[in-house]
Amino acid sequence: MLRAFLKDGRLSTLPAQRKKRDVILHELAGLFEPGRRYPEREVNAVLGEVYGDVFTLRREMVGLGVLAREAGVYWRPALDDPPQ
């Protein structure tokens, strides 16, 4: 399913259907090391390599819980971390 939305290593569009979107967001979370802290600028750079609308990706990833955020710092929670 992921291949349907990737072209030349970039996400061509973010699916409107929630299930498909969640699969992609979970995949993109793999770009970040669990527990490592990332400044917003670095998160934007990583996500910008995949999709132009980094703001939507960040917001969706935090909302889904695959990224956590506090005071402009982001991290990928460990599996046993409680949701924010």
Confirm whether 84 is domain-assigned. no
Q: What is the pLDDT of residue 82?
A: 46
Confirm whether 40 is domain-assigned. yes
Query: What is the 3-state secondary structure of 24-84?
Result: HHHHHHCCCCECCEEEHHHHHHHHHCCCCCHHHHHHHHHHHCCCEEECCEEEECCCCCCCC
What pTM was computed for the model? 0.86
Confirm whether 15 is domain-assigned. yes
Residue 62 confidence class, pLDDT cut points 50, 70, 90: very high
pLDDT tens digits for range 30-49: 999 998 999 999 999 999 99
Confirm whether 12 is domain-assigned. yes
Confirm whether 83 is domain-assigned. no
Q: What is the pLDDT of residue 32?
A: 96
Confirm whether 82 is domain-assigned. no
Instruction: Supply the range of the domain harboring residue 63.
Output: 2-75
Q: What is the pLDDT of residue 80?
A: 47
Q: How many domains does the chain contain in total?
A: 1
User: Nearest to residue 2, comparing CAs of 26, 35, 38?
Assistant: 26
pLDDT tens digits for range 15-29: 999 999 999 999 999
